[in-house]
Structure 1
Amino acid sequence: MDEPHLSRHYLGTQGLKVKCIPFAPPGPAEPDRGIQSHKLLAVGNWSQDAEQNVLSVVDLEVWTSPGEDRVLQAGLSSLAGWEHPGSITDLQVTQVGPGRVVLLTGSSTGAVCRVQLDVPAAPGSAPEQVQIRGEREDFDGIRLRPWRHLHTGPVAALDIRAETRQVVSVGLDGAIWILPLDGPQPAKPFVEARKSVSYSAVRWASNTSFVTAGTTGGLESWDIRQGPRPVTQSPLAWGLAGAGRRDAAQGFDRIQCLDVHPSRPHLCASGSSNGTVTVWDLRFDRPPRLCSVADQAGGGVWQVRLDLSDAAYSNSQTHPAVLFCTDGGILAHATPAPGMPSTGQAAVDSEQNSARPQLQSEASIVYQEPCGSITSFDIGPGSVDAADVFCVTDQECLLYYRRLRAAPGA
């Protein structure tokens, strides 16, 4: 495989969110055709023609050449779709057991919707073998009904912890909910709604802890065993988005998205409304490290992911690679260089006479969508599919980018 594969596929709807659905591995190669694999995706959409919000399950059928791992052909087809109550503000997909996958969506109405799938595991299985499972109250034919109604305003973000089968949800109303994936809704939220606080992002860090970002700025770490109050939070001197005085120089900034390292729960990446991408140590014993700044990121950051496919950085405890997408239509890859100064107070004191960030970004543009935004992306599940990146745009396209794999022993 000499170069990455890049293809654009017409969705017919404006993509808002996308998540990979774990699926069976491919079967043996077919003579004269190659190896067929199916990339199942959950997509949150807005249909301009129907004036509806829609949750869809689509299949990207990919043919690759045996041994070379070169993409020969890729085609998109729709498997299922439901009208969704309100705009889809967040989408999470988690495998909760052998062959069982749960899709959760957050809504602008404050509701959370749920879809359960039985997914085949045998190599070479077809997407038509996926079974949709749901209680009668979850569906009324073509529409999804709310599974839980949690917030008085929009759901800002939610996350599923597969090991404990728990969901955390934060809202613009300032409430935080912790509830079981299977079981009744608690009588009251973990944190009651507040007029002075609003949340924008949340991610589980461990079975008992999670991290949030909101209007108070920076990050807060919570432990569900210690009650409804943060146990630690980032110092105010580090700025609203972790960029110190750069935050103040750029005006109001807020963290819009988070990702926590799956095996190093103290490592977290964030993306902000002003385009800052930052890697944090959630122990807050050292300042965060800046990966990218607004003038190079091309707009606000909609989503950020710690990139575990990059062997050069996934094994590093201090310098993990990051993928992110922006309002300016950019998909970019960033690494905080080992020699890069931190973004703490000492690092920004030398810049107090400059309103423009002087720290050079290590971000490199992977792809730029012409005249549009990349609103969401996901990385293929597992080590084999981690070379696959799937993006959705407000120009009604699904972008499939297959990266070069690192050579063995590299």
Structure 2
Amino acid sequence: MEDSGDQYFHNFPQSKSVDAVRWLPAVTAFDRFIATAVYDQDAASSAAASALEIHSLTLSPSPVSSNDSEPRLHVRSSWPFPSRISALRSSSATHKHLSVVAATVAGSLHVLSVDPVEGSIDSELSIADDRSLHTGVVSAVDLLEGGRECITAGEDGKVNVVSIGEGRLDYRRVHDSHGLVSYTAARSGSPMEFATGGLGFGVQWWDQRKPGGFVAQFKCNWAQHKAPGIVHSIDIHPSRKHTCLVGGSAGTIFAWDIRYQQQPILLSGVGHDGGSLPFPDSEVWEVQYDNHVRYSSVNSAASAKVLPVMACLENGILAVLEQGEEPMLILEEPCAINAFDIDPQNPSSKLSSSAAISGAPLLLRPNPIPIPSSSSSCKPSALTIFAAKGYKMKTHKASAKRFRVTGKGKIVRRRAGKQHLLAKKNTKRKLRLSKMHPVNKSDYDNVIGALPYLKVNRNAT
């Protein structure tokens, strides 16, 4: 592990290729669980090559310093799959069991129940690869809000909604293009709405309350009459469900607002004039909104800007983009970075999987990172965990009511309480709840990390 300011990461070599990684919701303060889709190219049989592994991430005393701790990654359980995993998602809600949904290149769908304390895989529900659900590769899966339904999209042009019941899976066909259109990405926007993407940078918006097909569509070839573009990944922010973030071929990343269907905002790729990050001619395998990145400027037009974006590419780049700002290169690997995930419960923690092992821990910095020369051969995969120190608050709305900045730029806070009931409280209680207390300067970074719009003077006394 190496540290640079308030950011650091750890590298964990794996003996198998890691195709996808997903955080699982935390129910205890001691262990964090990670789901990985792995593939062993040297396996004796194809049936033993693919598996889903559950890893636990724990902190252990550092051998270098007794005051520091280092994360350790341990395999808690493994579940074999009949074919290679092509898509992986995990539930964001914590129930009696954690749900992990995986689809395969053969067309099967699997829902696994993971014990939230032990990390063991207790049961599996599946729809076999009998061509009933999909014929061929299932390109994308995503759980709808609540975790009782999921959507699937495949290269065969079929879109399904699968109901997860007690002991069985039932699916309903939403659309079937009979192979005329191929879907390569899907993302849930609400319990009834979702987005899909495919060839030609086509993006579709679906509403289950309106049967008969998609309700909105965007189709444009950003490659300027070159080879048809493909959408590889879609993300939708919970607070901006009308906007789809899209990543695809030729380094293309754009935002599509269904309210302005033919006016996408191009962030990267062919035809994009801003930024110098080498995104063109490289596939963008995954994009996600990065909730931990602070906004560079906050003004009345901030709500109209595209939120900060993290992306991983075929050329081994993991980077953060912000509209109107220079891209920040986080990591550069000698092989493709297949996938990454940002912890929704702690946005400062990130996962990524790549197709090669780095020879030594790498330093996280905004400049290109040199690849150690000690790794001369390209071995199978590495699972890298990225983290930055942050401050967790329940909601921005609740936090904004508690924290203020004085005229001198100092941060003060109000005691937590039901401020909206002040009118019903006695005078003594009102004064006690309304009194502002100075925040210790050692906590400034934590508060600013959660409320980046605060204009703070760190030198104020």
TM-score normalized with structure 2 length? 0.69
Q: Which runs of 4+ in 1 moved over 6 A?
A: 144-148
- Which residue is 1:356 aligned to? none
User: What does the per-residue CA deviation read over 1:148-183, in whole Å, with 9 as the maximum and x for residues that have no partner?
Assistant: 951011101011013262111011000111121226
Check whether the contact 1:85–1:146 (CA below 8 A) recurs between aligned residues: no
2:12 matched to 1:9? yes
Q: Which of 4, 18, 21 is 2:21 aligned to?
A: 18
Q: Matches of 1:102 and 1:89 in 2, distance apart? A: 17
Which structure 1 residue ranges, 5 or more long, are not aligned?
Answer: 27-36, 121-128, 139-143, 338-360
Superposed displacement of residue 307, structure 1:
1.1
Superposed displacement of residue 5, structure 1:
1.1
Deviates more, 1:178-187 or 1:250-259: 178-187
Check whether the contact 2:183–2:199 (CA below 8 A) recurs between aligned residues: yes
Q: Matches of 1:273 and 1:251 in 2, distance apart? A: 9
Q: Which of 244, 251, 268 is 1:268 aligned to?
A: 244
1:397 alignment partner AA: A
Superposed displacement of residue 318, structure 1:
2.5
Q: Matches of 1:63 and 1:223 in 2, distance apart? A: 47
3-state SS of 1:226 partner: coil
The higher radius of gyration belongs to: 2
2:38 matched to 1:45? yes
2:140 matched to 1:157? yes
- Which residue is 2:309 aligned to? 322
3-state SS of 2:240 partner: coil
3-state SS of 2:350 partner: strand
Q: 1:187 to 1:399 in 2, by over 3 A?
A: closer
Check whether the contact 1:174–1:192 (CA below 8 A) recurs between aligned residues: yes
Q: 1:185 to 1:401 in 2, by over 3 A?
A: closer
**Count of residue correspondences:** 348
Identity within the alignment, %: 23
Superposed displacement of residue 289, structure 1:
1.4
Check whether the contact 2:198–2:231 (CA below 8 A) recurs between aligned residues: yes
Check whether the contact 1:112–1:149 (CA below 8 A) recurs between aligned residues: no
1:73 alignment partner AA: E
Q: Which of 243, 259, 262 is 2:235 aligned to?
A: 259
- Which residue is 1:198 aligned to? 182
- Which residue is 1:132 aligned to? 121
Which structure 2 residue ranges, 5 or more long, are not aligned?
Answer: 271-276, 357-380, 392-444, 453-461
Q: How does 1:4-403 map to 2 (within 5 A)?
A: 4-26=7-29, 37-50=30-43, 52-63=49-60, 72-120=69-117, 129-134=118-123, 150-163=133-146, 165-182=148-165, 185-186=169-170, 189-215=173-199, 217-234=201-218, 236=219, 239-240=220-221, 243=222, 247-248=223-224, 250-285=226-261, 287-293=263-269, 296-297=278-279, 299-312=282-295, 316-337=303-324, 362-369=326-333, 371-382=334-345, 385-395=346-356, 396-403=381-388
3-state SS of 1:400 partner: strand
Superposed displacement of residue 250, structure 1:
4.8
Q: Matches of 1:131 and 1:375 in 2, distance apart? A: 25
Q: Matches of 2:115 and 2:215 in 1, distance apart? A: 38
2:382 alignment partner AA: C
- Which residue is 2:432 aligned to? none
Q: Matches of 1:148 and 1:159 in 2, distance apart? A: 20
Superposed displacement of residue 286, structure 1:
6.0
Q: Matches of 2:261 and 2:57 in 1, distance apart? A: 44
CA RMSD of superposed structures (Å): 2.8
TM-score normalized with structure 1 length? 0.77
1:366 alignment partner AA: I
Q: 1:216 to 1:253 in 2, by over 3 A?
A: closer
